[in-house]
Chains A and B, each alone.
Chain A
Amino acid sequence: MKSLLRGLLAGAALLAPLAHADAVELTLWHMEQPPHRVQRIQELIDAFNETHPDITVKQEPQNWGEIYAKAPAAVAAGAGPDLLFAIPDFTPIMKGIGALESVEDFVNELDAKHDFIDSAVQSYSYDGGVWAVPLYNMAMSMWYRKSVFEEAGVKVPETWSEWKEAAEKLSSDNVYGVGLPANKQLYTDQTVYSFMVNGGASEIFAEDGTLRFNNPETVAAYEAYAELQKMSPPDSPSWTWGEAEACFASRSCGTILQFTVISTYDTQAEGDPDDLGVAPIPYKEGQTQHNTISYANAVMILSKDDAKREAAKTFISWLLEPENYGKFLNMEPGLFLPITADGAEAESFWNDPLAQKYKSQIETMIENSKNGMLFGFTSGRTFPSIAPISAQNIIAETLQRIVVDGQDPAQAVAAGEDRMREVAK
């Protein structure tokens, strides 16, 4: 199907007037590989290519598991792409090998037009520049079924102790009150950090760049997490996002933390929008605000050629226009959240059937995302050393010491900080 489309396009390109023979070609690498996402991106690219005859964009979907190895190698060998999607901790790597130039002016321009979420821009602003253009957001929330809560006489927990109580009430013979991962993997980094930001432990760096991971708040967060993790299924130490969702969809897990369960709930579970509950992640007793972890995904411009950089900027601007932006976000409805104020209101976003069906849930998710942060990229305190810390999943590794090895949380967190120091060198 896709190749047929490409073939037609190639044919059309051949027939185009020769005056436009000098089309600038852009290669885009992104990590949204599931087929329907690739398809949606291709639709957008085709629309762009048609209305911009002097630019031709091409996509090459890559795999998150491979990209950390592949991208630096490709750039070093001169075979890199012009545009590369990124998450905040991937950008310092590319910056470190000299592949990036600051796009501060461009981002300011777009900010004035569309109003970015501040924390999103912050995640890419350090060392006197802005190194990528925020593109879409993902933030975690807590998911449950309203009917299940009602039946067990549980109300939506606001604090950690309420959550523990609720989980205990929900647990039965083959139902687990809460499904938390304990894998040495990004998902676990994310869920653990969700506890940390809700327990006053959101900063792992001090002002001067030294590590302050080891502090009482962090230890308390790990303790609370480990307590709840005990009620999770026995294979949770090997979970990634997919397993948690499967647990929730099959009603084996009462509550989970996830960016979204909407599409799996809709296709693999009952798909009843009235029953799907989403709430902000519970905080520690004494905290006042529900926070969450949020990933501002962005796009980096790698090309050093001026014409290509200009073309890239044209493409990005086009993408962020409300009438196109919604379609872009809905390549995975409910997972990708708007990162701009006008995006959050865009008709193209809310027009999608799935978005309409789960409107209230998505609205809650957008609300939650406003208090989103990311470890290592908080309040302007970003240090390149976060990249190996994140790549090696040390936050998750520390949890495994507690959950798998049975270490004392205080000890584990101290060891975790030592590890961070070691890899950050």
Chain B
Amino acid sequence: MLRESGILPFLLVAPALLFLAAILGWPLVSALLLSLQNITIIGSEGRWVGLSNYQAILGNPGFWKAAGLSAVWVVANAVVQTALALAAALVLNQRFPGVRVARTWIVLSWIVPTVVVVMIWRWLFSTSGGMVNPLLMSLGIIDRPIGFFGRPWTAMGTLIFINSWRWFPFLALMMLAGLTRIPDELFEAARIDGAGAFQRFRRITWPLLTPTLLVLAVVGTLLSFNVFDIIWLLTAGGPSGGTRTLPVMIYETAFKGYRLSEAATISVMATLLLMTFAVLATRWLAREADER
């Protein structure tokens, strides 16, 4: 550790921090101010109404439903993506012909613009020319075509699948990074001791990978909460509000309902929820790291 070097650390950190404060911080403050007024269409006049927007939102069942859907969204994505990513990372950590190619190209779904991902899956899941239904039918899994976006829960499930499809390769590579840091000697020693594959995983891989997993979980949760374009472009929060997570509700309230202050209020509430989670999580992570 270098000695405390006067203002030098601040000089190094300041550009990044000032940049973030200007681009992200100021608009946040602006949104906070908006939430204390009653502006409807952007550009119209508004009065200061104190905390009445917050009162209204807390009593709005739509808000709580959206918060619930956001929670479902975040948790389900975390589970599905972690499962897929972990499986992929374990596989990519093995040696087999073509593993180099696999490692590079698994992120194909991640480097594609979201809009393109959306259109591709919209086409694939449709009944006119879509591939998924005929595939499932020919495999005997279903006998009639399904409308994947037709019911609230199937729409949610389909969206979770698409979002996970897009993000799991990135997570897989992050996990792979963690895996490769585990020294081979540990595995060798365990094998000599007669430990089987599952035991090696449980005793060595899992404990040493956990720190990486935890950090990815925290950052991943924050990022996945914010996913907006995939949901909006495919279901716009439907059907019947079944996929209307908080970001979707905010966008809809601001730009379709033309109630800007109300949208800002929801945003602030969502931010508070997320920040509480993030602060608690990072504090817990730091404690876990110190204990090692």
**Could you tell me if B239 and A252 are in contact, using CB atoms closer than 8 angstroms?**
no
What total count of A-B pairs have CB within 8 Å? 105
Instruction: Specify which of A184, A185, A249, A252 is in contact with B240 (CB 8 Å cutoff).
Output: A184
**Could you tell me if B127 and A234 are in contact, using CB atoms closer than 8 angstroms?**
yes
Question: Nearest chain B CB to A73's CB is how many angstroms away?
Answer: 5
Cβ of B148 within 8 Å of any chain A Cβ, yes or no, is yes
**Chain A residues, CB < 8 A from B43:** 72-73, 75-77, 97
The secondary-structure label for the interface of chain A is helix
Q: Once bound together, how far apart are the Cα atoms of A392 and B241, in whole Å?
A: 12
**Chain B residues, CB < 8 A from A233:** 127-128, 145, 147
Question: Nearest chain A CB to B119's CB is how many angstroms away?
Answer: 10
**Could you tell me if B257 and A423 are in contact, using CB atoms closer than 8 angstroms?**
yes
Cβ of A93 within 8 Å of any chain B Cβ, yes or no, is yes
What mask results when residues 194 to 237 of chain A are scored 1 for a CB within 8 Å of chain B, else 0?
Answer: 00000000000000000000000000000000000000011111
Instruction: Specify which of A93, A237, A400 is in contact with B258 (CB 8 Å cutoff).
Output: A93
One of B79-87, B89-97, B99-107, B149-157 at the interface: B149-157
Cβ of A246 within 8 Å of any chain B Cβ, yes or no, is yes
Question: Nearest chain A CB to B130's CB is how many angstroms away?
Answer: 8
Instruction: Specify which of A68, A183, A246 is in contact with B126 (CB 8 Å cutoff).
Output: A246
What mask results when residues 227 to 241 of chain B are scored 1 for a CB within 8 Å of chain A, else 0?
Answer: 000000011111110
List the B residue with the shortest CB-CB distance to A253. Answer: B128
Cβ of A238 within 8 Å of any chain B Cβ, yes or no, is yes
**Could you tell me if B256 and A392 are in contact, using CB atoms closer than 8 angstroms?**
yes
Question: Nearest chain B CB to A393's CB is how many angstroms away?
Answer: 8
Within 8 A of A (CB), among B240-263: 240, 242, 252, 254-258
Within 8 A of B (CB), among A386-417: 387-388, 391-392, 397, 400-401, 404-405
Cβ of A286 within 8 Å of any chain B Cβ, yes or no, is no
Q: Once bound together, how far apart are the Cα atoms of A404 and B242, in whole Å?
A: 10
Question: Nearest chain A CB to B162's CB is how many angstroms away?
Answer: 13
Question: Nearest chain A CB to B204's CB is how many angstroms away?
Answer: 46
Within 8 A of B (CB), among A68-116: 68-69, 72-73, 75-77, 93, 96-97
Q: Once bound together, how far apart are the Cα atoms of A247 and B150, in whole Å?
A: 16
Question: Nearest chain A CB to B208's CB is how many angstroms away?
Answer: 44
**Could you tell me if A252 and B235 are in contact, using CB atoms closer than 8 angstroms?**
no
Most buried by A among B126, B128, B151, B238: B128
The secondary-structure label for the interface of chain B is loop
What mask results when residues 22 to 50 of chain A are scored 1 for a CB within 8 Å of chain B, else 0?
Answer: 00000000000000000000000000000
**Could you tell me if B44 and A69 are in contact, using CB atoms closer than 8 angstroms?**
no
List the B residue with the shortest CB-CB distance to A173. Answer: B144
What mask results when residues 135 to 149 of chain B are scored 1 for a CB within 8 Å of chain A, else 0?
Answer: 000000000111111
Cβ of B41 within 8 Å of any chain A Cβ, yes or no, is yes
**Could you tell me if A404 and B41 are in contact, using CB atoms closer than 8 angstroms?**
no
**Could you tell me if B42 and A72 are in contact, using CB atoms closer than 8 angstroms?**
yes
Cβ of B6 within 8 Å of any chain A Cβ, yes or no, is no
Question: Nearest chain B CB to A255's CB is how many angstroms away?
Answer: 15
Instruction: Specify which of B42, B150, B237 is in contact with A73 (CB 8 Å cutoff).
Output: B42
**Chain B residues, CB < 8 A from A238:** 147-150, 155, 234-235, 238-239
**Could you tell me if A68 and B128 are in contact, using CB atoms closer than 8 angstroms?**
no
Within 8 A of A (CB), among B186-234: 234
**Chain B residues, CB < 8 A from A72:** 41-43, 258
**Could you tell me if B146 and A234 are in contact, using CB atoms closer than 8 angstroms?**
yes
What mask results when residues 363 to 398 of chain A are scored 1 for a CB within 8 Å of chain B, else 0?
Answer: 000000000000000000000000110011000010
Q: Once bound together, how far apart are the Cα atoms of A423 and B236, in whole Å?
A: 18
Q: Once bound together, how far apart are the Cα atoms of A183 and B152, in whole Å?
A: 12
What mask results when residues 150 to 170 of chain B are scored 1 for a CB within 8 Å of chain A, else 0?
Answer: 111001000000000000000
Given A96-B41, A97-B43, A423-B257, are A237 and B150 also a contact pair (CB < 8 Å)? yes
Within 8 A of B (CB), among A168-203: 182-185
Q: Which residues of A contact B (CB under 8 A)?
A: 68-69, 72-73, 75-77, 93, 96-97, 182-185, 233-238, 243, 246-247, 249-250, 252, 387-388, 391-392, 397, 400-401, 404-405, 423
The 10 A-B pairs of least Cβ separation, nearest first, read A76-B43, A234-B147, A238-B149, A235-B147, A246-B128, A69-B255, A237-B150, A184-B238, A400-B240, A391-B256
Q: Which residues of B contact A (CB under 8 A)?
A: 41-44, 125-130, 144-152, 155, 234-240, 242, 252, 254-258
